[in-house]
Structure 1
């Protein structure tokens, strides 16, 4: 069965160096994530970065924090008030240019340089503002890579968010491989065809909208319609699939087997799908039975669907969905 992670090379991910156990934090410590350093490291090539060390701050060093306007905060030292904003933002822009080939980025949460959201932004009265802001380096980097899958380490402990992020990472890597091979109208349509049911699970409304967009693909140069399509795809995939949308896709897939299965086999599939919809069993249970039936009754169109295996089985990402 063709899978979306049949890639010429392992996907590369940017990552905050402290999450891999590097002692680069302001106090000389680290924030090792075993999920990243042990589990994900078996499937990805990490590019570890610590922007604070990269701009010349030592280890250990004075802690920095965000202050001022949450929409445009400044990064300053706690004691001496030295401003590191421009240096962190410039490094973010430099690395965004150098890491054009990565397929995702895992940032350190709550960091004034790397945090993606809810980073404390302190006001003149010494209290943080509600809602917080985004780290300076992360903000500059992400502004130049709006389609890149990004996530914070803490959120990856949520199985739904973890599966969603890695589904996007492999979709991004697959798109990059296709672009390197040569972008064409047919390649874009084939790519969309592979992600049909994954899109239906993540965002049924955008699935239909993207189909309409590609309905007039021949009227646009591929270097215009391709990036436009991919940006919309990544936005759609960022929406987490639910038990309801997954169940809907499972029912669609069952339709390809209706002429091949006995009444008892169909009833068993329906029972497992309903148990999944009700929260009794994880997604992997009905999915495993579906794959078993498709192995016995192959269908060329279904065999190339990313939805059946959007990421390596060894990651066991659907066991907890």
Structure 2
């Protein structure tokens, strides 16, 4: 997985210091330029232009959106504070009368979300938040695994394998949605392949959009620890239990209990099924996404 690059749609100005924004400023992003680029092939979309000419390009939106359908994107990074992209998440402010007023999504953001509701989309400024960054990267790497798994054909058997290998990843976001996905997979023979695929993608996207929490991760890691039963001694078990609880209470970052679990699972030759769970290694460790959450 780490050798296969993500395909990420992105505003061109986030990758090029010399690109001019709508307001005459230039923009680049440290995380995008210095970290994420190692794992991504950018699909640049240059939509920001001089303000005086903005109306001349509004008619080009559908062409840009339709072109993207051929790119097999794994995710999209929008530019924050852009009149065209801003905002993927509508902002709420005060109107002249002092009441709350909601701004509409930017033209491109709205069109993108409507046409590709399951596509992981995020604003570059929000990626500075460690929790949001981890969630977004987890979503796009999951999207990449999905695109690879079903690039040639979609079969119920392949879906069962995908669903099984992502069990704990999905559980860390929503146990109820994971169970609903399981019921859908079990009914695969009653649906057309298109219906099955479309419904599963919607549920998967909805699940991953729900932020994981220390309590959810604790539940998942305790489940994983069960696969070490009979393989570790009392002291080792105590260490794992204490480390997971230290994470739950905010004393250590997530990387500590996950590393410990990975160590014991591999050291004791745990079942391949649990070793192959994407939850244990959902993205390259070099991104260090679990080190500060």
**Residues of 2 paired with 1:22 and 1:106: CA distance?**
19
1:224 CA displacement: 2.0
Q: Give me the TM-score of the superposition, normalised by structure 1.
A: 0.84
Contact 1:202 1:236 in 2 (8 A): yes
Aligned length: 290
Q: Using a 3 Å threshold, how does the CA distance of structure 1 residues 172 and 228 change in structure 2: closer, same or farther?
A: same
Contact 1:24 1:50 in 2 (8 A): no
Contact 2:2 2:283 in 1 (8 A): no
What are the superposed Cα offsets for residues 206-230 of structure 1, whole Å, 9 maximum, x if unpaired? 1111111112112222232022112
**Residues of 1 paired with 2:22 and 2:222: CA distance?**
52
Counterpart pick for 1:238 among 209, 218, 225? 209
Task: Identify the residue that residue 7 of structure 2 maps to in structure 1.
Answer: 12
Structure 1 stretch 26-35 or stretch 225-234: which is displaced more? 26-35
Contact 2:94 2:101 in 1 (8 A): no
Contact 2:141 2:283 in 1 (8 A): yes
Q: Does 1:317 align with 2:281?
A: no
Ranges in structure 1 where 5+ consecutive residues have no aligned partner = 64-76
User: RCO (CA 8 Å, sep 6+): is it higher in 1 or 2?
Assistant: 1
1:23 CA displacement: 1.8
Q: Does 1:105 align with 2:72?
A: no
Counterpart pick for 1:194 among 165, 187, 200? 165
Task: Identify the residue that residue 73 of structure 1 maps to in structure 2.
Answer: none
Q: Using a 3 Å threshold, how does the CA distance of structure 1 residues 122 and 274 change in structure 2: closer, same or farther?
A: closer
Q: Using a 3 Å threshold, how does the CA distance of structure 1 residues 290 and 121 change in structure 2: closer, same or farther?
A: closer
Q: Does 1:208 align with 2:203?
A: no
What are the superposed Cα offsets for residues 177-233 of structure 1, whole Å, 9 maximum, x if unpaired? 111132111000100001100011011111111111112112222232022112211
TM superposition outliers: structure 1 runs of 4+ over 6 Å: 120-123
Q: Using a 3 Å threshold, how does the CA distance of structure 1 residues 28 and 128 change in structure 2: closer, same or farther?
A: farther
1:141 CA displacement: 2.2
**Secondary structure of 2:101's match?**
coil
Contact 2:184 2:200 in 1 (8 A): yes
1:107 CA displacement: 0.2
Contact 1:114 1:137 in 2 (8 A): yes
**Residues of 2 paired with 1:103 and 1:62: CA distance?**
30
Counterpart pick for 1:217 among 185, 188, 205? 188
Q: How large is the RMSD of aligned CA atoms in angstroms?
A: 2.4
1:139 CA displacement: 1.3
1:129 CA displacement: 6.8
Task: Identify the residue that residue 304 of structure 1 maps to in structure 2.
Answer: 276
Task: Identify the residue that residue 43 of structure 1 maps to in structure 2.
Answer: 39
Task: Identify the residue that residue 256 of structure 1 maps to in structure 2.
Answer: 227
Q: Does 1:278 align with 2:278?
A: no
Q: Give me the TM-score of the superposition, normalised by structure 2.
A: 0.91
What are the superposed Cα offsets for residues 19-39 of structure 1, whole Å, 9 maximum, x if unpaired? 123422024432211000110
Contact 2:156 2:185 in 1 (8 A): no
Q: Does 1:62 align with 2:45?
A: no
Task: Identify the residue that residue 160 of structure 1 maps to in structure 2.
Answer: 131
1:119 CA displacement: 5.7
Q: Does 1:267 align with 2:238?
A: yes
